[in-house]
Structure 1
């Protein structure tokens, strides 16, 4: 009877806990969009060439929605964190692209600052529909400068991170995704 109880007790316990107990913790540091939301991401590069999903397709993308008028402290922090996370990936850095989507052509001061501080970042100009599609996918359209979005190599919106998040959390999530991903 003791041997039977050793095998049956875990099965009975699992059967009783199904749909009643969920683990409280999660491993991701951002807000996961489940299921991932496919995006039709269309924008113009600051160099006046029209691009779409193909520009970021095949690579993971960290996207920030900014304003052409200025880059306040939240914007600067988000862009800095995105750059540092990408650099911290080391040999996997080429698998990730950073993208700043603006609402209009940036002012000269902002454009020069971006060229100096964030030369590897893609600078895109997107219409309101494209810019709104990112926060609307999470069902809570909010201020555009509050989040850093993560797109997978297939062009799906996967996660978002508040600009106040510790960048080591983004780095841990990206390393895990790059290690487990067969694409991008």
Structure 2
């Protein structure tokens, strides 16, 4: 009689299905990790599934520009409401300076996380300068290089208000027509999302 048949090794019999199952699990894990990154990159590059609505009221900068790119050299480790005055600081500019201070006060318990400032390309008139010294003791003041400002913004006439993060990056820009409530809501939202400053 022929040799008795040996029963198949149980571990060998189970190997192919369990190996397939392991490969499938690894593939699913990789898809779970890499898939969202590929999808997000595609959405950004090809602009699909990008929501039309936005929750902010100013112009989002988001291109890596800093305070120095608008001609202002300063160090501040808090969020900043910076008013830029490329010409003399007249009615629109003065309104933005007032608004920046009011928004900072409106932050309530978070007021210490932000500051307000004015960067002017020209010296202020003596009356307004004296008023700022008297009524705006916490206002930081900086000189502004008009050539750098114009090169970056393309506009060397209109005063603007900027929200700048604690690293000095430009985040949002506002025209003189901005409403205080909209500005306050934007800054509150940024402070809520941020763990810096």
TM-score (norm. length: structure 2): 0.67
Separation (CA, whole Å) in 2 of partners of 1:176 and 1:131: 27
Alignment of 1:30-179 (within 5 A): 30-40=58-68, 52-54=73-75, 56=76, 58-66=77-85, 69=88, 71-132=89-150, 136=152, 140-179=153-192
* Higher relative helix content: 2
Relative contact order, higher structure (CA 8 A, sep 6+): 1
- Please give the root-mean-square deviation of Cα atoms over the aligned residues, in Å: 2.4
Q: 1:33–1:158: 8 Å Cα contact kept in structure 2?
A: yes
- Measured after TM superposition, the shift of residue 115 of structure 1 is 1.4
Structure 1 stretches of 4+ moved >4 Å: 18-21
TM, length-normalised to structure 1: 0.72
Structure number with higher strand proportion? 1
Q: Is the 8 A contact 1:67 1:102 kept in 2?
A: yes
Gaps of 5+ in 2: 1-38
Show CA shifts across 1:93-142 (max 9, x none). Answer: 11111110112332321211111232211111223245436xx1xxx411
Matched-pair contact (CA < 8 Å) for 2:87–2:156: no
In structure 2, relative to structure 1, the CA distance for the partners of 1:116 and 1:67 (3 Å cut) is farther
Structure 1 unaligned blocks of 5 or more: 1-14, 44-51
